[in-house]
């Protein structure tokens, strides 16, 4: 092991428990159906909104692509978003029509795609009181990812709000900002879907945040 290179400890503050990769079998613990395990009484999964939830129902789908351009088929994803009114529903309860928290995963069987069934989030204000464009916070975990990568998914059809979003504008590079915008797709039956591919490394690399 190399020399310690983290900042010195003060005895006034404990050190955070160190992170480790979620590994290849994360599904056993956090996505039981993917691992082939029987479900428990209640599972936390990708249906964040039922048809009764307020707001516009949407599906969010995407792939995760590594630095070689190959699909990452063992990603585990967590989503955190406001409801249609711009409120976080923190009290997770599967009997409610909407939960702000959801989980998904990419697998070989799903063609390497993750998906969320949700509603389009409303507008929330940033810490300085300025409105942020509608967005979904995503955390990406997988084998080979030592600590989760935090990103945000924005919506292509919210161009005006996106242009004014203080968080998007914290990304200096305009071309990198575009990596955070999901594409809108409408299916024949009128369902709205947003596609958000996450590129972990290299060309078109998705912006990841520290906060």
Residues 59-118 that bind another protein (CB under 8 A): 66-68, 70, 72, 74, 78, 80, 82, 88, 90-95, 99-101
- Please, are residues 46 and 103 in contact by the beta-carbon 8 Å criterion? yes
Q: Identify residues 139-198 at the interface with another protein (CB under 8 A).
A: 139, 141-150, 152, 167, 170-171, 176
205 is an interface residue for another protein by CB under 8 A: yes
Q: Which residues contact 143 (CB under 8 A, 6 or more apart)?
A: 21, 22, 23, 24, 26, 74
The residue (of 7 and 187) whose beta carbon lies closer to another protein is 7
Smallest separation (angstroms) from another protein to the CB of 184: 21
42 is an interface residue for another protein by CB under 8 A: yes
Smallest separation (angstroms) from another protein to the CB of 191: 26
- Please, are residues 22 and 142 in contact by the beta-carbon 8 Å criterion? yes
Question: Which stretch, 38-46, 51-59, 111-119, 189-197, contacts another protein (CB under 8 A)?
Answer: 38-46
Spatial separation of the C-alpha atoms in residues 55 and 68, rounded to whole Å: 38
The residue (of 43 and 185) whose beta carbon lies closer to another protein is 43
Smallest separation (angstroms) from another protein to the CB of 86: 10
Q: How many CB atoms lie within 10 A of CB 167?
A: 17
44 is an interface residue for another protein by CB under 8 A: yes
Spatial separation of the C-alpha atoms in residues 143 and 146, rounded to whole Å: 8
> What is each CA distance from 55 to 49, 78, 84, 123, in whole angstroms?
10, 21, 5, 12
Total binding residues for another protein by CB under 8 A? Answer: 89
């Amino acid at each position: 092991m190399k020399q310690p290179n983290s900042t010195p400890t003060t005895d006034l503050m404990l050190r955070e428990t160190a992170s480790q990769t979620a590994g290849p079998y994360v599904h056993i613990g956090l996505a039981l159906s993917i691992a082939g395990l029987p479900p428990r009484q209640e599972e936390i999964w990708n249906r964040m909104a039922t048809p009764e939830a307020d707001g516009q129902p949407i599906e969010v789908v995407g792939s995760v692509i590594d630095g070689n351009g190959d699909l990452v088929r063992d990603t585990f994803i967590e989503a955190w978003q406001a409801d249609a009114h711009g409120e976080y529903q923190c009290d997770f309860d599967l009997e409610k029509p909407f939960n702000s928290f959801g989980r998904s995963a990419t697998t070989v069987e799903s063609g390497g795609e993750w998906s969320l069934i949700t509603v389009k989030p409303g507008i929330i204000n940033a810490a300085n009181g300025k409105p942020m464009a509608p967005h979904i916070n995503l955390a990406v975990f997988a084998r080979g990812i030592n600590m989760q990568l935090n990103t945000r998914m924005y919506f292509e059809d919210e161009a005006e709000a996106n242009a004014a979003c203080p968080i998007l504008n914290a990304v200096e590079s305009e071309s990198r900002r575009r990596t955070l915008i999901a594409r809108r797709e409408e299916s024949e039956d009128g369902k709205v879907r947003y596609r958000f591919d996450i590129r972990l490394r290299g060309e078109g690399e998705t912006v990841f945040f520290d906060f």
